[in-house]
Chain A
Amino acid sequence: MNTLKLLILGLALLRSPLFLVIAALALLSFHGAGINISVVIIEMSRLADTPLLVSLPLFIFTGILLSESRAPARMLRFSQIFFGWLPGGLAVVSLLVCAIFTAFTGASGVTIFALGGLLLPALIQDGYKERFSMGLITSSGSLGLLFPPSLPLILYGVISESRIDHLFLAGILPGLLMIILLAGYAFRMSPPKAAGKSLTPKEMIAGIREICWELPLPFILIGGIYGGYLVPSEAAAVTALYVLVVELFIHRDVTVRQLPAIMSKSMVLFGGILVILAASMASTNYLIDQQIPSRIFSVIQAFISNKYMFLLLLNIFLLLVGAMLDIFSALVLIVPIILPIAQGYGIDPVHLGIVFLTNLQIGYCTPPVGLNLFLASYRFDRPVAELYRSTLPFLALLLITLGIITYLPWLSSVLIRYFG
């Protein structure tokens, strides 16, 4: 049985579809444990109960439609008008946009799909190196996890029974630190500006007028959800409809005859993601069934001698977990196990939550298994190995922030002291 599993892993390296590799491992594992293999489908059918499921294809469609239109060029013009004076302006804008988008969509990989196709051409046009641009977008795909109203943050509060308003406050500074460090790097890597080339007022007005239809998009999303008018899936539908009308009838970048092809392209992309999600639900369930995460943790626990040692090992453990489990399962499974132990070492539950989520966020982009890497590879049609290389510098920066966030609890507690 184990040789068979190794064989399948070998096949994975030979360009076999990832979802079939994961599914085959799950099927074999369940069969080997004497459990009926239909459990694999039972797990997959649970996807129909996820409310976030509906927003996924809609955001993908919106993203593809926007990227097939001339919206990236308009956005670029706009950011040149307002941030043209700032070196690294467009990269900083991209970071912020991704962070906000992720905070709302909960790091389900939607960010890369909805914004990647828009931002990558814009960044490259602006003179950034392709490798840098891809790395930036891939690592930004889970950047907003620490900002309200991110779902994982809320989930942590529910599971750990800590106050959610405190968690919201605690996440702000660590999240900003991450953005600032990345922005600093973007600043260093920004292309040299063509000197003396400034825009006339007429060009500026034209640029603003151009973007005025796309500019309200983030406000529709944020206003709709925060204002209590829409649930996220409805916000996704409204955005899709809005973008459809704008690109089809106002800008006329896309014709009705092109539309079926764009739609079917987005559904193929969505299908590719859905089956991976489905397969990983099944394999995660096997890990849960065999209680593997808690077994790993009990091994690690044997080596702990003090609080700092504990935090270090926790970080390593969580990075590994981030590679194996999706964020929801990781929260549900791991938090109840480590919370009492962490409290035994005098670690505040709110601080633990921020450390926890930062780790899982980074786990999205660490090789060999990182959801963001796969999604970006799929979206940009590049080999995964190339994305490993391009995210490396960003990963290093994120790990530095992780160190700061872990060993400087002040960062996550200071706002609570003043505003809590």
Chain B
Amino acid sequence: GSKQLFKIASLAPAGSVWTTQFENFAEEVREKTGGEVDFRIYPGGVMGDDIAMFRKMRVGQLHGGGFTMTGVASQVPDFRILGIPFLFHSYEEIDFVKKGLLPEFEKQFRDKGLELIAMTEVGFVYAMSTLPISDLETFKQSKNWAPTGDPVSEKFLQTLGITPIQLIIPDVLSSLQSGLVETVYNSFYGSIVLQWFTKTKYIVDLPYGYAYGVFVVSSQKFNKLTEKQKQVFLAAAHKHFPVLLKKTRQSNQESRLILKQRGGQFLTLDHGTIELLKEKRNETIKQLVPDAFSKSIQDHTFKLLEEFRKQ
């Protein structure tokens, strides 16, 4: 076939694990197709946020991207399901449920003209605050942040009686600085990369939720590849993206230690508070079906989770 150039954008900063590992993947595809399939990478959100990236994919300026869950859910709402607060206890659970849901996700993406190449992650996110939030009352009194355009976390906080302050990620640090928000949510690695940890000394040591994303390319562009090129493409993805997951988790683990060294205080919640939070979470889910995600994907997810926990 003719030469194919894939223009790929992402919000992940240049030089972060996400982009460097993606470059490894791109290099392998480039090499094994003899330069017939090439990539151009636009990191750091220079092509705009998820919505702008989708618009550009539609008109053919871009051919793929690393999207965040919140961004991609505007196209495939069911993809939100893993973002429910306090759903998972370990990465093993996540990997099991993800594997079970993947065929369904792939189908839903393909219906939208998108090829799901790999799922990526930020990891478990934790509530981090400038105030010692050790119970529900102190948590509610602090000024909470919610990312712009995420109905799940917004609804959950509202169920708890909190009106979150919606800010885009680049605005969070300066707002922590000025005290406009006090409690924010991020992974350990993310909190260091974005410098939020310089302000948030207190960390609630319970995974609040799971943040993840996806690497997709447009089906139209993907189908221009020959069968052999497609195989090379997918094989390289199969090889490099699991490494990315491993590296992300490793960075998070290392970051936890760094946060401790820098004087971060890890707080624990008592059993009663955790149960109450989960109760409120279940209440939230009822309100979210079917606008935010479908009943069938919810049932499927909970069944898989139950299956894993029985083992």
Contact = CB atoms under 8 A, between A and B. Distances in A.
On whether A and B touch (CB less than 8 Å), the answer reads: yes
B254 to A, nearest CB: 14
Interface string B50-64: 001001100111000
Nearest to A35: B61
Size band of the interface chain A makes with B: 35 or more
Contact of B52 (A46, A158, A231): A46
Given A36-B60, A39-B61, A157-B195, A149 B13 contact: no
A46 B48 contact: yes
Task: Name A's interface SS.
Answer: helix
A226 interface: yes
A43 B46 CA distance: 11
Contacts of B15: 336, 339-340
Of B40, B167, B174, B195, most buried by chain A (CB within 10 Å of CB) is B174
B173 A164 contact: yes
Interface stretch (B73-81, B177-185, B288-296): B177-185
B46 to A, nearest CB: 5
Nearest to B60: A36
A228 B59 contact: no
A49 B168 contact: yes
A260 interface: no
B195 A333 contact: no
Contacts, number: 86
A159 B59 contact: no
A298 interface: no
Contact of B47 (A51, A149, A288): A288
Nearest to A38: B59
Nearest to B193: A161
Contacts of B179: 227-228
Nearest to B48: A46
B178 A42 contact: no
B174 A288 contact: no
A39 B49 contact: no
Contacts of B171: 51, 231
B56 A42 contact: yes
B59 A154 contact: no
B46 A336 contact: no
B14 interface: yes
Given A51-B171, A228-B179, A36 B198 contact: no
Interface residues of B, number: 34
Contact of A288 (B42, B49, B178): B42
B45 interface: yes
A225 interface: yes
Contacts of B14: 336-337
Interface string B117-143: 000000000000000000000000000
A289 B47 CA distance: 8
Contact of B49 (A49, A163, A230): A49
Given A155-B170, A159-B13, A225 B48 contact: no
Contacts of B55: 42, 45
A248 interface: no
B243 interface: no
A151 interface: yes
Contact of B60 (A35, A46, A157): A35
Contacts of B193: 161
A36 B173 contact: no
A108 interface: no
B147 interface: no
Contact of B61 (A36, A151, A165): A36
B52 A42 contact: yes
Contacts of B45: 332
B102 interface: no
B55 to A, nearest CB: 5
B207 interface: no
A159 B14 CA distance: 8
Contacts of A36: 59-61
A163 B61 CA distance: 35
A157 B194 CA distance: 9
A154 B52 contact: no
B44 A336 contact: yes
A228 B178 contact: yes
Contacts of B48: 42-43, 46, 49
B250 interface: no
27 contacts: A35-B59, A36-B59, A39-B61, A42-B48, A42-B55, A43-B52, A45-B52, A45-B55, A46-B52, A49-B52, A51-B171, A149-B177, A154-B173, A155-B170, A158-B173, A159-B44, A161-B195, A163-B195, A164-B198, A227-B178, A231-B175, A231-B180, A291-B40, A333-B44, A336-B44, A339-B15, A340-B15
Given A51-B168, A227-B178, 8 more contacts: A42-B48, A46-B48, A46-B49, A158-B194, A165-B198, A288-B42, A333-B46, A336-B13
Interface of B: 7, 13-15, 40, 42-49, 52, 55-56, 59-61, 167-168, 170-171, 173-175, 177-180, 193-195, 198
Interface of A: 35-36, 38-39, 42-43, 45-46, 49, 51, 149, 151, 154-155, 157-159, 161, 163-165, 225-228, 230-231, 285, 288-289, 291, 329, 332-333, 336-337, 339-340
A-B complex: 10 closest residue pairs judged by Cβ atoms: A228-B179, A336-B14, A36-B59, A228-B178, A42-B55, A332-B44, A35-B61, A228-B180, A39-B61, A288-B46
